[in-house]
Amino acid sequence: MVSLRDYQKKFLESYHDESSFIDLIKADQVSASNRLSVYHTSIRETLRKALTLTYPLTWKLIGEECANGAAYAFIQEKVALPQTGNLDEWGETFPKFLSVYPPLQTLSYLPEFAHLEWLQHLAYNAPDKEPLTIQAFKGLPPESYEKLSLELHPSVHLFSSSYPLDQIFAVVNEKVDTITLENRKSYALIIRPYKTVIIHWLPEASFSFFSLLKKGLSLLQVMSQIEDETFQLNQTLSFAFQAGLFSDHNLKIHESKDFVEDEA
């Protein structure tokens, strides 16, 4: 007798035409191959729909027909199938797939655009935590500033791109009609302090500031590594508190942990 686990394994293999699962299907008025095809189609459509929910702007950017074609091709990849039943955790490798998908090779910025959407998805599903306000520092003695560490909100993700993604997002979100892409990088900070995911486009120095904070450095250590003379600490901190970027603080310098910037 075939166990349930074996049935499931053979069915999964049948999705890639690598099993004899079809021989286990009882045929009557509908052929076994047609029965199996119904389930395979259902899987493909469920996964395609999950991708459209995670990457809505990618669908809007390249068009539904093209995006659906890329999704179906991606879903056929063995490594692309979900490993759990939670589809909110699935789809991370779709941007990387777009970088090798032949019909989209002319859109060199697309994988990084899609990766930024994935980070928005992660921010949306991040744990809730009340943002820190400036009142938390009331009465803090100035001599303690050198030991002050600021913890970024759990929904914060930092991403630098080789392309001006801020321009592309502006067009896709219909903030501008047309653009001429500039030859420059862009620096994004993604956060969901409350109910809405927000992308803040930062100057390079501000991006470095928040990246170093995420690494676990104290405020004094961070400032010792910021070489841009135009960087304004007070202005940056004011922006950070208004945007709800911090969720905690302490006066103990932690050992620095390796920081790996989010990459496409």
Last residue of a domain, one of 89, 107, 125: 107
Q: Which residue range(s) make up the domain with 152?
A: 114-264
Comparing CA positions, the residue from 201, 213, 205, 211 lying closest to residue 232 is 205
Q: What is the phi-psi region of residue 244: left when phi exceeds 0, alpha when psi lies from -120 to 50, beta otherwise?
A: left
Give pTM, 2 decimals.
0.84
Last residue of a domain, one of 51, 77, 107: 107
Query: Residue 200 belongs to what H/E stretch?
Result: strand 198-201
Residues 61, 150: one domain? no
Which tokens hold the place of 191? 């956060």
Q: pLDDT tens-digit profile of 14-73?
A: 656 645 666 656 666 666 666 666 777 888 999 999 999 999 999 999 999 999 999 999
Listed residues 75, 107, 139: the one ending a domain: 107
pLDDT digits (tens, 9 = 90+) for 77-93: 877 888 888 999 999 99
Same domain, 47 and 157: no
Residue type, 257: K
Residues 168 and 100 in one domain: no
Q: Judge if 37 and 138 occupy the same domain.
A: no
Check whether residue 176 and residue 200 sit in a common domain. yes
Instruction: Provide the number of structural domains found in the chain.
Output: 2
Provide the mean pLDDT of the chain.
Answer: 86
